[in-house]
Amino acid sequence: MRQIWITRAGPPEVLQVREAPDPEPKAGELRIRVEASGINFADILGRMGMYPDQPPIPVVPGYEVGGRVDAAGQGAERSWIGRDVIALTRFGGYTDTICVPAKQVFARPAGMSALDGAAIPVNYFTAWQLIVVMGALKRDETMLVHSAGGGVGIAATQIAKHLGARVIGTASASKHAELRALGVDHLIDYRTEDFEARTREITGGRGVDLILDAVGGDSWKKGYRVLAPTGRLGMFGVSAAASGKERNVLGFVSLLANTPWFQFNPLSLMNANKGVFGVNLGHMWGEVDRIREWAEGLLDLWAQGVVKPKIARSFRFEEAPQAHHFIQDRRNIGKVLLVP
């Protein structure tokens, strides 16, 4: 098999393709011949040596794949063999062959390509947990989503619009026209505008009901301030930690210094009627049965045309460094994939 390894912590060029013998599925596992692997921002932080969940480098990153099952380990249903699937992988997803526990494998409906399939798990499960499970977004409420042009941002917009909510998104200015066409009602260029002031203006001073914020640091402070009464702030990442393409200790210290350790406290939350919560899909491995229920709902929405993965670009395995540059240069509108 061919895999993409993070050979050491560093810039995108540390990603290298290496060959290894094909793995054999262990008890309860299915082996998948991978046709597309999703790239997530966590892989980028991992490549820079800034992602505590990742096993030690050298490592094969990757949380999700689309492909076809070709072997089943002892105790795993043999009827999976030959079926098109998508799967959550606990690292190791940047590969052309992988074995994963059967419960992390989902049937890929007829008509869904392996590329679209690989674009679904992390982005849509995260968006679902943020909006439906924990954020309880309702019709006519307003949601503010940061990095609206990213994989999670686009998934979140599709789900929120389906629920009948209004969406405000922050993104680099070059993405605004396309994001408007994808359903974002109001766009803010966070690089030249203050998103807190603009959000107040857009909502006539009231603020928003739900915020999805994976930027972190100061952004969480401003977001908390701009929540309307009963508003909820969902925190699920720290992209602000990636100020360059290599580990930057000063940037990380500044992120920590700007984190609102004391702004949210039991009394302020109670008196302001605001809620804050966190999401980390990578810490939900004990809850895969629940995630399977979310997947059913999402695949139903895919059949209805509501869930519509937007692929920004796919790169060959050899081009993995360019794929990471593409994301870190903030050029992607949608999901970035790797194909073997």
Ligand X SMILES: NC(=O)c1ccc[n+]([C@@H]2O[C@H](COP(=O)([O-])OP(=O)(O)OC[C@H]3O[C@@H](n4cnc5c(N)ncnc54)[C@H](OP(=O)(O)O)[C@@H]3O)[C@@H](O)[C@H]2O)c1
Report the interface residues with ligand X, using CB under 6 A. 40-42, 122-123, 126, 147, 149-153, 171-172, 175, 214-215, 236-237, 239-240, 242, 279-282, 327-328, 330, 332
DSSP secondary structure letters along 166-228 = EEEEE--GGGHHHHHHTT-SEEE-TTTS-HHHHHHHHTTTS-EEEEEE-S-THHHHHHHHTEE
- Closest of 42, 66, 88, 69 to residue 289, by C-alpha: 88
Contact 126, 279 (CB under 8 A): yes
Q: How far apart are CA 240 and CA 220, in angstroms?
A: 11
Sheet architecture: strand order including 208-213 = 186-188, 166-170, 142-145, 208-213, 227-235, 275-278
- Least distance CB 167 / ligand X (angstroms): 15
- Least distance CB 41 / ligand X (angstroms): 3
Q: How far apart are CA 81 and CA 70, in angstroms?
A: 5
- Least distance CB 290 / ligand X (angstroms): 14
> What 8-state DSSP symbol labels residue 242?
-
Q: Which is nearer to ligand X, 57 or 134 (CB)?
A: 134
- Least distance CB 26 / ligand X (angstroms): 26
- Least distance CB 143 / ligand X (angstroms): 15
Q: Which is nearer to ligand X, 63 or 224 (CB)?
A: 63
Whole-angstrom CA distances from 34 to 14, 79, 128, 333, 335 are 22, 18, 25, 24, 17
Q: Which is nearer to ligand X, 97 or 314 (CB)?
A: 314
Give the CB-side neighbour count of residue 74, counting CA atoms within 13 A. Answer: 2
- Least distance CB 63 / ligand X (angstroms): 8
Q: Which is nearer to ligand X, 159 or 171 (CB)?
A: 171
- Give the residue carrying structure tokens 């912590």: 9
Q: Which is nearer to ligand X, 142 or 239 (CB)?
A: 239
- Least distance CB 145 / ligand X (angstroms): 10
Helix axes 121-128, 151-163, angle to 10 degrees: 40
Q: Which is nearer to ligand X, 70 or 189 (CB)?
A: 189
